[in-house]
Amino acid sequence: MSFEGVAKRFDGDEARDHYAARDLSLTIERGELVAVVGKTGCGKSTMFNLLIGLIEPTAGRVSVLGVDPFHRFDALAGKISVVFQNDRLMPWRSALANVAYGLELRQMPKAQREAIAMDWLRQLGLDAHAHKYPHSLSGGMRQRVSIARAFATDPEILLCDEPFSALDELTGARLREEFRRLVKETHKTGVFVTHSIDEAIAIGDRILVFRAPGHVAAEYRVADALQRQDEESLKRDILANMGDAPSTGNGLPV
C-alpha cells in the first residue's frame, strides 16, 4: 500500500477550501501491522477513506495491492476488510449470520459459511453467543463480532478506524491484544487508526504519527524504538510529534 504526494481538499464554507490531507506519502509492506496515530481532526479517517476507495484524492496517487482503490473499487472487493468504531452489524441478523454475510455474498453454501463463521466466533470467544442478535450483546461483544466478520472472508488487508475507542479501557485493551495476535497468526497486513498513543504502541509493528493537515510527521519501528528509549519517553516523543490539536469553534481542543 502506498500514498505518494496525496492531497485531499474539501470545499470549505465561505470559499475557504480545506485540506484534510496534504503531501501525504507513506508505504506499508505486506505483512506489516501499522498503527496510525494522531489527534482528532488531523486526517486519519480521510487517509482511511482514501485507502478503501471511498473518496478520490485531489492530487497524488494512492495504491492498494497494486491498484487505485477509488477507480478500481471492484478489484479490491473481498481483499480488504474494515472494522469501524461503530460495529455496523445488521440488527436483524444473528451474530453468526452477520459473520457469515461476506461469504454469503460470495454464494458459499450455507453449511460451509456457517462453519467458517462459527470458527471465527469461537476464536473470539463468542461461540456461546452465535445465535444472539446484536441488541442483546455488549459493546465489546459486538466489536468482537465485527472482528470475526472481518477475518471470516480471509482478506489480505484489515483496516480499522478507531474500533475500540468507544469501549471501556479494559475491554479495549483485551480486544486490541487479540486483534494483534490474530493478524499476526494469519499473516495479514493491518492498518489500525487510533488517537491513543498507548494503543498505537500496543498494536503497531510500526507507528505513523499523523499531523494536520493529514501528513506523516514522524514514524517509529516500535521494537527498535523501545530498545533505544523507555516507553514513557517514546510516548512523549510521539505526543510532541502529534503537534497541537486543531481548535474547535469554542476554543477547546477537539
CB 151 to ligand ADP: min, Å: 24
* Binding pattern for the stretch 45-64 against ligand ADP, x by CB under 6 A and - elsewhere: xx------------------
CB 45 to Mg ion: min, Å: 3
Q: Return phi, psi of residue 48, to 5°.
A: -60, -45
Q: Does 45 interact with Mg ion (rule: CB under 5 A)?
A: yes
Please say whether the beta carbons of 210 and 245 come within 8 A.
no
Q: Could you give the residue ranges of the DSSP H alpha helices within 87-168?
A: 95-105, 110-123, 139-152
Please say whether the beta carbons of 102 and 85 come within 8 A.
no
Taking the least distance from each CB to ligand ADP, the nearer of 185 and 244 is 244
CB 4 to ligand ADP: min, Å: 19
Please say whether the beta carbons of 21 and 190 come within 8 A.
no
Give the separation between CA 248 and CA 91, rounded to whole angstroms.
Answer: 34
Q: Which has the closest alpha carbon to 123: 166, 181, 189?
A: 181
Among 10, 88, 169, 177, binds ligand ADP (CB under 6 A): 10
Rg for the chain, CA atoms, rounded: 19
Taking the least distance from each CB to Mg ion, the nearer of 38 and 102 is 38
Give the separation between CA 125 and CA 137, rounded to whole angstroms.
Answer: 13
Contact set for ligand ADP, span 26-45 (CB under 6 A): 38, 40-45
CB 36 to ligand ADP: min, Å: 9
CB 232 to Mg ion: min, Å: 26
Contact set for ligand ADP, span 202-221 (CB under 6 A): none
Residues that bind Mg ion (CB under 5 A): 44-45
- Chain residues binding ligand ADP by CB under 6 A are 10, 18, 20, 38, 40-46
